[in-house]
């Protein structure tokens, strides 16, 4: 289901008493719901189990030692970042095609989560690189392409904050959002396309995983748990993005009403057809 | 630093960032929902 923003007609309804929207106890307060609370509790339980398996139960690696325990959080976060970028690209394409506000909000919410997790990917990766490679950072193909992905995500979010008419802003952001998926492919394949210090693909894009036993179980459990966390964040962030748009709309309506009142024009219960007004 | 120090750093930073981000979303959502009429707080 999609919700279309109508720009053809501006309707000025009677403003509520006091000018601002009054809170109503019958409406939902915040971004939570019964479904998100159940999902949140399941995610917390999953995180506790995944952390136990990663930090206590699983053995250390014969080459990396205990540093391997960073992998159990690094890889799931990367997966969340990839999925977030994919959903942003999907939402951007669908917005350009359908001009649907629902898809635009979906893309924006997913992009912010992808930005946070991509930044965490780099930071956590640096914590792994220092004891393993002896340096915090090298301009390796995987690291550099991931940093470029982070810059692209920051660019997407920056474009959304440039003051502009709602449709133009969403269209510009969607064009940037379409570029995310090709970048994800470049990041993922960078270790095979170029000579890289970063280790080769461990579990993704291969039918022969290079991790086994308790270590594989800890990693394979952490990934769906991280995706559950992503789903929880996405639902909440989506509802927040929706509220941000609604607040903007209500503030704009209020400003128009105030300006008309200042000009001595009674705007109450008046519908103005922009098409008629401009013809 | 020992291996465990790097492990603690990686897990700690991740936990702090994600918890802070989740709290920011929830608090901002509760603040903004009070400024929007009940019928407009959700998309359906």
Domain range summary for chain A, segments of one domain joined by +? 35-238
Q: Which of A20, A65, A233 sits opposite B3 (nearest CB)?
A: A65
**For a pLDDT cut of 70, what percent of chain A falls above it?**
82
A266 has pLDDT over 80: no
* Per-residue model confidence (pLDDT) at position A204: 57
Mutate to test the interface with B, among A26, A47, A70 (most CBs of B within 10 A): A70
Hey, are the CB atoms on B43 and A3 less than 8 Å from each other?
A: yes
* Per-residue model confidence (pLDDT) at position A269: 52
Q: A131: Cβ–Cβ under 8 A, 6 or more apart, which residues?
A: A67, B1, B3, B6
- Name which CATH class applies to A35-238: mainly alpha
* Per-residue model confidence (pLDDT) at position A116: 98
What is the greatest pairwise CA distance in chain A? 80
- Average pLDDT value for residue range A197-219: 72
Mutate to test the interface with B, among A16, A50, A246 (most CBs of B within 10 A): A246
pTM of the predicted model over 0.90: no
* Per-residue model confidence (pLDDT) at position A37: 94
Q: What is the 3-state secondary structure (H, E, C) of A232-263?
A: HHHHHHHHHHHHHHHHHHHHHHHHHHHHHHHC
Mutate to test the interface with A, among B15, B38, B39, B44 (most CBs of A within 10 A): B38
Angle in degrees, 0-180, between the axes of helices A180-193 and A71-98, rounded to the nearest 10: 140
- Average pLDDT value for residue range A240-258: 88
Q: B18: Cβ–Cβ under 8 A, 6 or more apart, which residues?
A: A116, A120, A229
> Cα(A220)–Cα(A214) distance, rounded to whole angstroms?
10
Q: Nearest residue of B to residue A120 by CA position?
A: B14
A221 has pLDDT over 90: yes
Q: Which residue, A30, A33, A46, is CA-closest to B34?
A: A30
Residues 162-221 of A with CB under 8 A from B: none
**Would you call A236 an interface residue with chain B, using a CB distance cutoff of 8 Å?**
yes
Hey, are the CB atoms on B41 and A3 less than 8 Å from each other?
A: no
- Mean pLDDT, chain A, rounded, equals 84
Measured CA distances, A88 to A97, A131, A257 (Å): 14, 34, 35
Q: Which residue, A252, A268, A24, is CA-closest to B40?
A: A24
Q: Residue A8 — left, alpha, or beta (φ > 0 → left; ψ -120 to 50 → alpha)?
A: alpha
Hey, are the CB atoms on A233 and B37 less than 8 Å from each other?
A: no
Q: Nearest residue of A to residue B20 by CA position?
A: A116
Strand partners, A270: A12
Which has more confidence, A174 or A262? A174
- Average pLDDT value for residue range A191-214: 71
Task: Dump pLDDT digits (tens) for A81-94.
Answer: 999 999 999 999 99
Task: Dump pLDDT digits (tens) for A10-26.
Answer: 333 333 333 334 444 56
Indicate the SS3 state at residue A90: helix
Under 8 Å between Cβ of A103 and A91: yes
Q: Enumerate chain B positions whose Cβ falls within 8 A of a Cβ in A.
A: 1, 3-4, 6-7, 9-11, 13-14, 17-18, 21-22, 25-26, 28-30, 32-44
Find tokens 């991509």 and name the residue: A118
Q: What phi and psi values does residue A175 have, to the nearest 5 degrees?
A: -65, -40
Q: A229: Cβ–Cβ under 8 A, 6 or more apart, which residues?
A: A43, A47, A80, B18
Which has more confidence, A197 or A104? A104
Task: Dump pLDDT digits (tens) for A177-201.
Answer: 999 999 999 998 888 888 777 777 6
Q: Is the dihedral of CA A140, A146, A150, A152 positive or negative?
A: positive
> Cα(A111)–Cα(A256) distance, rounded to whole angstroms?
32
Indicate the SS3 state at residue A94: helix
> Cα(A191)–Cα(A224) distance, rounded to whole angstroms?
24
- Assign A96 a pLDDT band (cuts: 50, 70, 90): very high
CB pairs under 8 A between A and B: 120
* Per-residue model confidence (pLDDT) at position A149: 96
A170 has pLDDT over 80: yes
- Average pLDDT value for residue range A241-251: 88
* Per-residue model confidence (pLDDT) at position A25: 55
- The top-scoring range by mean pLDDT among A208-222, A264-278, B1-15 is B1-15
* Per-residue model confidence (pLDDT) at position A205: 52
* Per-residue model confidence (pLDDT) at position A165: 87
- Average pLDDT value for residue range A38-67: 92
How many CA atoms, within 13 angstroms, populate the side-chain half-sphere of residue A236?
Answer: 25
**For a pLDDT cut of 90, what percent of chain A falls above it?**
57
DSSP string spanning chain B? --HHHHHHHHHHHHHHHHHHHHHHHHHHHHHHHTTS-GGGSS--
Hey, are the CB atoms on B18 and A3 less than 8 Å from each other?
A: no
Q: A13-27, A179-193, A205-219, B9-23: which has the minimum mean pLDDT?
A: A13-27
- State the complex-level ipTM: 0.93
- Average pLDDT value for residue range A133-138: 92
């Amino acid at each position: 289901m999609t919700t279309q923003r109508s720009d053809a007609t501006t309707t000025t309804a009677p403003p509520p008493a006091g000018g601002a929207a009054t809170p109503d106890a019958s409406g939902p307060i915040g971004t939570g719901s019964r479904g998100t609370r159940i999902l949140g509790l399941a995610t917390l339980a999953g995180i506790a189990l995944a952390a136990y398996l990663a930090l206590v139960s699983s053995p250390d690696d014969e080459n990396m030692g205990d540093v391997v325990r960073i992998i159990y959080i690094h890889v799931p976060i990367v997966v969340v970042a990839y999925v977030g970028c994919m959903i942003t690209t999907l939402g951007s394409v669908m917005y350009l095609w359908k001009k649907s506000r629902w898809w635009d909000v979906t893309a924006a919410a997913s992009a912010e989560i992808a930005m946070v997790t991509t930044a965490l990917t780099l930071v956590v990766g640096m914590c792994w690189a220092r004891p393993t490679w002896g340096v915090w950072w090298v301009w390796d193909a995987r690291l550099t392409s991931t940093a470029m992905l982070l810059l692209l995500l920051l660019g997407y979010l920056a474009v959304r904050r440039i003051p502009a008419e709602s449709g133009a802003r969403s269209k510009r952001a969607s064009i940037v959002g379409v570029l995310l998926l090709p970048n994800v492919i470049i990041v993922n394949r960078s270790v095979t396309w170029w000579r890289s210090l970063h280790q080769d693909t461990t579990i993704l894009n291969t039918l022969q995983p290079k991790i086994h036993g308790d270590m594989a179980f800890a990693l394979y459990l952490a990934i769906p748990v991280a995706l559950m966390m992503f789903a929880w964040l996405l639902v909440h962030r989506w509802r927040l993005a929706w509220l941000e748009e609604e607040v903007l709309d209500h503030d704009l309506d209020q400003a128009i009403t105030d300006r008309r009142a200042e000009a001595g024009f009674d705007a109450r219960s008046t519908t103005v057809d922009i098409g008629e007004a401009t013809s | 630093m020992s291996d465990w120090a790097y492990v603690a750093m990686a897990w700690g930073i991740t936990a702090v960032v994600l918890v802070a981000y989740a709290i920011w979303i929830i608090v901002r959502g509760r603040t903004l929902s009070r400024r929007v009429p009940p019928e407009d707080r959700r998309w359906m």
